[in-house]
Every structure is written in structure tokens, then in C-alpha cells.
Amino acid sequence: MAVVAGVRPHPWNHGFRWADHPGPYRVVTPDQAAAFDEHGFFVLEGVIDPDTCAALDREIQPGVDLVARLLRQVPEGRLSVAGLDTQIVAPHLVTRSQRLRRFAASPLFGGLCADLVGPDARLYWDQAVYKQPHTAEPVLWHQDNGYTFVEPQAYLTCWVALSDATPDNGCIRVLPGWHRHGTLAHVDTPIGFACLDDPDGQVTVPVRAGSVVVFSSLTPHATGHNRTDAVRKAYILQYAPDGAEILRGDPSTGPPVGREPAADPDRQFPVCRAGEPVGV
């Protein structure tokens, strides 16, 4: 599998082939589906109203506060990609909030899954990422499947902007087209995993609050520093096909040593069955 000089596939990425999404579609347009297949991302503009964004923020804030308290107990207030001076990352909030659980399984996301994941899909992961003012570090170029290797490799990430995301406060940047190579090799750094270093061809994706950046788990992406006085707020929802498995082991030492179904009922619940959103 050719990528570019110096960039290698993940050791567990064998024979990956991207599958296009021919429709019919419930939520996306044919142009959006084509952009997803060709470029690995597209934007749903303004699909979440301001009152809902505010309500989601209120539900998320206790989890963010809890993680901030935990980070104050570790050296330098940092743990990998999270840090008091970088970004507060609060995972598994659907286990604490019925409102967030309903939001994650709403017709918008159930329909997106039917269009872009498959007829049967589950929530795989949810987390808030609140990028702090005047951050000390960026988020490095990575693929979501580079952190924890999931099969099938291609699942769906929905990056929900709860505040405006701009180049000044650390909006998403993506590398179009690279999702079609499958998972790349990543290195573990003190501030998170990385697969590339300032690549050519990157695209900056500013969005207004209430918009959703939709991209593949295989789309390399990064976010820059927040150079403003305000927190940049995002809520990230990820969806995988029903039956997806999490591979366990150290890819630098050999093949996986185990597989775990991504089917925890507390946080990995179904969002569509037989192509129909199921709700909560």
C-alpha cells in the first residue's frame, strides 16, 4: 500500500480497501456522500439550534469540571492529549446524562449512521473537548483509529461545535483523501499520538456553533492552539458498525493478543437497526 515516503501503514492494517457509499440517503446529500468518500469529510452547517447547544454545554460542564479536578492531581496537570493548559477531555458522558444519551441517538445521528456506517450501528465513543484559552500545545496530526485500533477500521466521527470554531481558537484541520489508505502508523508523544508532521495539502475547517464536521476515523486531522480568551467547546460522537471489535496488544511487538466487542450497553448502545434510527 503506497502512501508517501516516510509514512507507513499501521502494522495491523492489512489489505484495507475503502468502500464508497452509494445511497440511498436519509440525512446526507449525494454531494456530501461523494465528498465523504473522496475527501474523508464534509460539514453539516447549522443543524443544531442555539438553545440545544446551550443545553448540551450545561450537561457537559460537570464532566469537564470533574476531569479538571483529576488533572490537578497529576504532574504538570497533563495526561497525554489532555491538560489544564491545553484541553479538557471528558469521555463517556452518555453514562452520566440521559439528555446526552438521547442526543447521541437522535434521528440526525441515527440517519448519518444509516448513510455512512451501515444499517446497524452503535455509538462507539463520546467525549467533550474543551480547548482552554491560550493553550500551550496543539493536538497533533492523528487518525482516530490510530489511538485504539478498531475493526472495521472505518467508523464515523461527528465533531459537534458548541461554540464557533475558528483558526484563532483551534478549529479542525484535515488532510483530504488520506482516509483511503486505512490506518497509518502512529507514534506516542507526551501530548498525544501522531502520524504526520505539518503535512502538505491540509485544509482548515472553521465552523459556526451548531454545525457538525463529519469525518472518517481514518481522516488525519489536527487542531491548533486556542489563542483567544474564551474556551472552544466541542462534543465528539463516534459510531461504529454493530459487531465492530477493539483490538488489544502492542502493534510494535506483533499481532493483536485479543479482541473485545464494542458493545458495552452503558455507552455503546445501538443508534440504528436495519437502516432505521432507534432512539433511546
**pLDDT computed for residue 3 by the predictor:** 46
Largest CA distance in the chain: 51
Cell numbers standing for residue 183: 490506518
| DSSP letter (8 states) at residue 94 | G
Angle, CA of 218, 15 and 270, to the nearest 5°? 50
Residues 12-48 as b/e (b if ≥16 CB within 10 A, e otherwise) read: bbeebeeeebeeebbbbeeebbebbbebbbbbbeeeb
**pLDDT computed for residue 5 by the predictor:** 46
Compute the distance between CA of residue 231 and CA of residue 219 in angstroms, rounded to an integer: 25
Query: Does residue 1 contact residue 181 with C-beta atoms inside 8 Å?
Result: yes
Mean pLDDT over residues 242-251, rounded?
97
Bridge partners (DSSP) of residue 139 are: 223
Query: Does residue 91 contact residue 127 with C-beta atoms inside 8 Å?
Result: yes
Mean pLDDT over residues 22-41, rounded?
97
Question: What does pLDDT average to over the chain?
Answer: 96
Instruction: Name, in order, each residue with C-beta under 8 angstroms of 196's C-beta and a sequence gap of 6 or more.
Output: 7, 141, 175, 184, 220
Mean pLDDT over residues 59-77, rounded?
96
Query: Does residue 100 contact residue 58 with C-beta atoms inside 8 Å?
Result: no
The amino acid that residue 273 corresponds to is R
Mean pLDDT over residues 59-83, rounded?
96
Residue 179 has pLDDT above 90, yes or no: yes
Compute the distance between CA of residue 184 and CA of residue 53 in angstroms, rounded to an integer: 34
Q: What is the DSSP string of 161-185?
A: ESS-B-TTTT-EEE-TTGGGG-PBP
Q: Which fold has domain 42-256?
A: Jelly Rolls (2.60.120)
Position 279 confidence tier, pLDDT thresholds 50, 70, 90: confident
Residue 139 has pLDDT above 50, yes or no: yes
**pLDDT computed for residue 6 by the predictor:** 66
Residue 83 has pLDDT above 60, yes or no: yes
Compute the distance between CA of residue 6 and CA of residue 4 in angstroms, rounded to an integer: 6
Mean pLDDT over residues 86-102, rounded?
97
Segment 186-233, tens digit of pLDDT: 999 999 999 999 999 999 999 999 999 999 999 999 999 999 999 999
